[in-house]
Amino acid sequence: MKPDPVKMDAEPERRPATAYEVAELAGVSQSAVSRVFTPGASVSAAMREKVQDAAQQLGYRPNLVARSLITRRSSLIGVAVPGTANPFYQAALDALSTSFARIGYRVLLFTSDPLAGSDPILEEVLRYRVDALVLISTSLSSHFADECLQQGLPVVMLNRKTDGDSVPSVAGDNRRGAKELAAFLLAGKHRRFAYVAGLEHSSTNRDREAGFLEGLAERKIRHVERVVGNYSAGDTELVVRKLLSSTTPPDAIFCANDYMALVAINLARAEFQLNVGTDVSIVGFDDIEMARWPIFGLTTYSQPVKVMVQRVVQVVQRQLSAAVVPAVQHIVDGELIVRGSARVPQTGVVRSADQWTWHSRKHRGISR
Amino acid sequence: MKPDPVKMDAEPERRPATAYEVAELAGVSQSAVSRVFTPGASVSAAMREKVQDAAQQLGYRPNLVARSLITRRSSLIGVAVPGTANPFYQAALDALSTSFARIGYRVLLFTSDPLAGSDPILEEVLRYRVDALVLISTSLSSHFADECLQQGLPVVMLNRKTDGDSVPSVAGDNRRGAKELAAFLLAGKHRRFAYVAGLEHSSTNRDREAGFLEGLAERKIRHVERVVGNYSAGDTELVVRKLLSSTTPPDAIFCANDYMALVAINLARAEFQLNVGTDVSIVGFDDIEMARWPIFGLTTYSQPVKVMVQRVVQVVQRQLSAAVVPAVQHIVDGELIVRGSARVPQTGVVRSADQWTWHSRKHRGISR
DNA sequence: TTGAAAGCGCTAACAC
DNA sequence: GTGTTAGCGCTTTCAA
């Protein structure tokens, strides 16, 4: 119940205290207050104490808006994330938020419509003068990319690439991963293959599809049943149902990501009473947390989110400091994680850390 | 390949254009530019066109930082969300971001450590002069709450409450829901009950536990095996394993949220070969998307995220406009959704929309 | 080390 | 309807 030390008005203090008010109370100049709250400024101990005392009393907090205006840096990172339930995005966003927080940045969130273009939303972001833009599985018009480039605004894509090489990106090894999965399924003596595509225009989907087909083509497999799940649970359920209802259903299904694969497993088991891993093999891509839940036991190709995010942060930092940085397309290695959702080949499976992995002959024994 | 209309320097334009530059190019005053970009200001058509032309050429975008400084409104909502994989948070964050975007606000994201207090992070948020604070399943020291109150900063808790009534909150009907689940399990003739607790100090956990025990007590059941899962997958796996390994394992397990319940189902099936729904009944709380996946078919009590978020937005808006608003604790109704993970009682199950629900005798026939 | 003064880019009176 | 003039709360020269 200690009384307000400054004034006893009935009206509650309606606006936050300013540096000027602190200065007045402490009997110093306003710039002295600024210095006390600027790391690495030169202030005497006496001054620091006086100011901090006054600040404490008034509940003063530096106004970052005002600071941003003059420093031209907001310490905000705009992050676009698709508005779907795919746990991969949650993991990525979480890691991004945590990693950037560690180096003094906050995340300004933008939910992007996975179907529509994200330009209008990003247009908005720029007004907030974010220091950088990170796009999780979100595409970008090249026009907009140019504009950002011109304004010197760092942009990085996570889990997606642009067509040109104008925007740096960090992604998993989609092509190789999908190819390995194809080789894995081939080695497991599967015969009838199906591909459940994600969003048609996403680079991840294209690369994974290309890799998968490429892998199959090496063994002269040309026929692959193709359906489109659009990375959505609803669509996936529909198309996988169709797939499994066929008179000659596939015995190997590659879903372009884990989320769709989980939906597929679910459907195969609950609706078709299939034993996933023996009656039908289902594999995915990402290695999200639930993939390793025993109930799913999804065989998949991993995308190490933590590593990818760390790389994103690096790229942003580099762009922030250097004047001009080449727009590198970073590829983060993954591994084929063997669990129970697909028939396991006789050879090639090895113990690695606390899980089983598989490497095609071509890649076996390649040291890293 | 159209040349830069303003200057042809080799150096790329390094900073965004200002309203002043636009004004100069258009041959008007800077405030005219401001007006053109202020909805509802009075500008002639001719002026508007001139200005928009110039703005277009320079790639001008109003600087919201500068605007915030003077309007004292940032159109930013600080949102704290726990850093865990629970899909409920993803759904809530998503809905929050979308709903606020519709009324012109953006989300400034803060990942809160679910264990540690969130004060230090929130301290940070205040510096950004967010217009309001939404805490998803995150607690708040009463000291900090007071400080926000005093600064006139709206704060709303989602899916959690404070001890006092100082901070408004929006939550599901935890107590009643848990009580209904108890009644449901009782009606299903279960005998040995277990409760998997969430975070000990969270209000949701306390209310759900209280409701569950209360429901059981009405039928003189006093013994409930209690373990703590802390809303985490790892902890939950450990304690549920212990539960099921017992010589007299429970035949009914209530997990304080769906996420833990899914982990439990998973474990019971994969590790103990139990048929969930007959050998053992498992129920949860939230009704997250995956609860309705056939593979899980989780019987649970629903928390309608969309509705809850809509309510949060309302509360924030009210606080933003009115001077003083009483800190109401909003409770959003849910329903007991019957699926396959728990033995179903003979009576009380009714078809509602496209799913089955259950109501205890006490609540049957209550019209809404 | 400290203070005075000049803005950062914009909005909001206020005149015209 | 349009321009002029003050600031918003802070950082940053520049002198003292």
pLDDT tens-digit map of A240-267: 999 999 999 999 999 999 999 999 999 9
**Phi, psi angles (nearest 5°) of residue B56:** -55, -50
Q: Please report the pLDDT score of residue A325 as a whole number.
A: 80
Spans in chain B with pLDDT lower than 50: 1-11, 368
Q: Cα(B96)–Cα(A214) distance, rounded to whole angstroms?
A: 42
Q: Please report the pLDDT score of residue A106 as a whole number.
A: 97
Closest-CA distance, A130 to chain B, in angstroms, reads: 10
Q: Cα(B264)–Cα(B282) distance, rounded to whole angstroms?
A: 8
Say which residues have a Cβ less than 8 Å from residue B189's Cβ, sequence separation at least 6. B343, B345
**For A88-113, what is the mean pLDDT?**
96
Q: Return the residue of A nearest to B237 by Cα.
A: A293
- A277 within 8 A of A340, measured Cβ to Cβ: yes
Q: Please report the pLDDT score of residue B324 as a whole number.
A: 76
Spatial strand order in the sheet of A169-172: A329-332, A169-172, A155-158, A132-136, A76-82, A106-112, B106-112, B76-82, B132-136, B155-158, B169-172, B329-332
Left (φ > 0), alpha (ψ -120 to 50) or beta: where does A264 sit? Answer: alpha
CA of A1 to C1' of C11 (A): 40
The secondary structure of residue A4, as a DSSP letter, is: P
Kindly report the average pLDDT of chain A as a whole number. Answer: 92
| Residue at shortest CA–C1' distance from D2 | B32
- The model's confidence at residue A366, banded by pLDDT at 50, 70 and 90, is low
User: Alpha-carbon torsion A139, A141, A146, A147, what sign?
Assistant: negative
**For A279-302, what is the mean pLDDT?**
97
CA of A348 to C1' of C7 (A): 68
Q: Cα(B25)–Cα(B16) distance, rounded to whole angstroms?
A: 15
- B231 within 8 A of B258, measured Cβ to Cβ: no
Nucleotide nearest to A64 (CA to C1'): D10
Check CB contact of B106 with chain A, cutoff 8 Å: yes
Which residues in chain A have Cβ-Cβ distances shorter than 8 Å to B68? 65
pTM: 0.93
Q: Please report the pLDDT score of residue B276 as a whole number.
A: 97
Q: Please report the pLDDT score of residue B368 as a whole number.
A: 45
For strand D, the positions having any atom within 7 A of a protein Cβ are 1-5, 7-13
Q: Which helix (H) or strand (E) holds B303?
A: none
Q: Please report the pLDDT score of residue A353 as a whole number.
A: 87
Q: Please report the pLDDT score of residue A6 as a whole number.
A: 38
**For A73-96, what is the mean pLDDT?**
96
The tokens describing A60, both together, are 């003063």
Closest-CA distance, B348 to chain A, in angstroms, reads: 26
Of A87, A147, A295, which is closest to B266 when you measure between CB atoms?
A295
Of B83, B109, B265, which is closest to A109 when you measure between CB atoms?
B109
Q: Return the residue of A nearest to B82 by Cα.
A: A94
Check CB contact of B318 with chain A, cutoff 8 Å: no
Check CB contact of B76 with chain A, cutoff 8 Å: yes
User: Whats the size of chain B, residue-wise?
Assistant: 368
CA of A31 to C1' of D14 (A): 13
For strand C, the positions having any atom within 7 A of a protein Cβ are 1-5, 7-13
Say which residues have a Cβ less than 8 Å from residue B115's Cβ, sequence separation at least 6. B199
Q: What b/e readout covers A125-154, taking b as 16+ CB neighbours within 10 angstroms?
A: bbbbbbbbbbbbbbbbeeebbebbbebebb
Q: Please report the pLDDT score of residue B366 as a whole number.
A: 54
Whether B263 sits inside 8 A of A72 (CB atoms) is no
The tokens describing B165, both together, are 């009534």
Q: Return the residue of B nearest to A104 by Cα.
A: B124
Q: Please report the pLDDT score of residue A365 as a whole number.
A: 61
Q: Please report the pLDDT score of residue A362 as a whole number.
A: 75
Q: Please report the pLDDT score of residue B246 as a whole number.
A: 96
Distance, CA of B349 to chain centre: 29
Q: What b/e readout covers B204-224, taking b as 16+ CB neighbours within 10 angstroms?
A: bbbbbbebbbebbeeeebeeb
Residues A322-344 pLDDT 10s = 767 888 999 999 999 999 999 99
Closest-CA distance, B303 to chain A, in angstroms, reads: 17
Q: Please report the pLDDT score of residue B365 as a whole number.
A: 61
- The model's confidence at residue A113, banded by pLDDT at 50, 70 and 90, is confident
DSSP bridge pairs for A349 = A358
Nucleotide nearest to B42 (CA to C1'): D1
- In this predicted structure, the answer to whether residue A290 has a pLDDT above a threshold of 50 is yes
